[in-house]
Structure 1
Amino acid sequence: MIAFAFVGLMVLVFLAIPVAAVMGLLGLSLNFIFTDIPLWRALGEISWGAFTEYTLLAVPLYILLGELFLRTGIAEEMYTALSKWVSWLPGGLMHANVASCTMFSATSGSSVATAATIGTLAIPQQRKYGYDEKLFLGSIAAGGTLGILIPPSINMIIYGVLTNSSIPQLYMAAIVPGLIMAAMFAGRS
């Protein structure tokens, strides 16, 4: 039976079917073999329960907030202000990357959005001032990882919903390590 499931998994994946659909199809088809309880009858209730969790409403709102900051120019003004504020430090623009990633993480809640936004704003500055590209992009990549640690993190919201944990307690537990990591990244820049 395991061999059948593995072969089915490989065939469906090599047919370029999305992995989530493959796992769903295998789960539903193997349900008939391994149990007498029909899984497909409970599928609607499980989906309804997951999609009606009001806490998950925060996820698209944080994405919208990050997008608004980028489109209105607030993110660019933030980067410019932080770059002027830390310009006296050696490698000041890399410190501005880490500081901007820290600030933007507190609004977007996503590592990918943080790294993409700050990268979009910072790369022209890197070319203008002639910073080493690998080191400069490394500071953006490191600072971008703060997006999942500094509240409000989308990953923490999803984790809190899945584990039935208190999201404010998760936020309180993550803020100090997030700021310590930001300070360590800035120290290495």
Structure 2
Amino acid sequence: MFSRKIVGKILIPAAVLVSEKGKEMKCCKPSELPIYTSEPPPEPKRIMRDPPTKVEQEIGNVRRQIVSLSSQLTAIQDYAVDAVEEAWCECEGVIEYLQQEDNTTPRYGAIAVGGLAGFILGLRGGKFRKLLFTTIGALGMAAVCYPTEAAEYSEQIKEEAIQYFRIAYNFYHGVIGDKKESSVKQTEAKTAG
């Protein structure tokens, strides 16, 4: 009796159900699988931070100021580089113009302006300083206007300076002429004395 009830109520409907499912095979779409849900995924939880402290605020302010200052410095640097390059190109053009053979009057004017600039720079000193700065200014501009002559004269000045230095050195140490002559004079002085 117990078995009849079980067979009649549970097993027979299950068999009918299995046989009906076997007759019609129903395929499903991947979206119908239980791993796909129609509900949107939950939003990630945001981590709540504490408000920044005074130190963090000040550090942030300093960093923002440094970034703005560095951007300003790069802008100034770019402007300065452009200005220097432009000035250098202009100077090269003026130097080429002054070094041409047929421009004697502008050369003389440039040398006079160089001497005047040296004089102005030496105004706060005495007479020697004024003379020295004026000479340096005029000679410097003359070297720019006449580069080949300046190289020749500077070589001659160097040789003569070395010669005068040797004379002054020998005079300071009491050497007269060659060493042979001085040693002969020294022995004569010893025998006479």
TM, length-normalised to structure 1 = 0.24
Give the number of the structure whose alpha-carbon radius of gyration is greater: 2
Q: Give TM-score scaled by structure 2 length.
A: 0.24
